[in-house]
Amino acid sequence: MEALKLAPSDDCPSVLLDKDNSTFKISGKSLPEDVIKFYQPLIDWLEEYKTSPLEKTIFDFKLMYFNTASSKLILDILLILEEIKEGGRDILIRWHSLSNDEDMQEAGEEYADMVEVDFEYLTYDM
């Protein structure tokens, strides 16, 4: 399965979905002008991945900011990961936030309440 790599921009996060190297990561700011156009390749990739996932998937979200439109697509990603877990695989979401960013920490906690997937909360400093 070919890796999906997207370089970051001012409005879009970097993305690396790489099954061969067990790397699943979205980081940066997410406020794309066309949120569906940006996130659809990620959704499509994960739908394909879901057919033959690794035994354990660790997915890193290291978002500094995301807009309301992005929040729905992030939930869609988490729901796909939840389906993989329901299929008997281990899923861990590592939710990274700046140590002083309570809003981003709370966003991760809210997502954790919406899906049946394990979350680990990590903080970092700039």
Residue 125 is given by DSSP the state -
Q: Are 120 and 94 in contact (CB under 8 A)?
A: yes
**What single-letter amino acid sits at 50?**
K
> Half-sphere exposure (CA, 13 Å, Cβ side) for 29?
6
Range of the domain at 108: 4-124
For the chain, the domain total comes to: 1
Would you call 3 helix, strand, or coil by DSSP? coil
pLDDT at 46 over 90: yes
pLDDT tens for 80-102 read 999 999 999 999 999 999 999 99
Of all residues in the chain, the percent with pLDDT exceeding 90 is: 99
Question: Mean pLDDT, the chain, as a whole number?
Answer: 97
Separation in Å, CA 81 to CA 4, 8, 90, 117: 16, 23, 9, 8
pLDDT at 126 over 90: no
pLDDT-derived band at 74, boundaries 50, 70, 90: very high
5-19: average pLDDT: 97
CATH of the domain at 11: 3.30.750
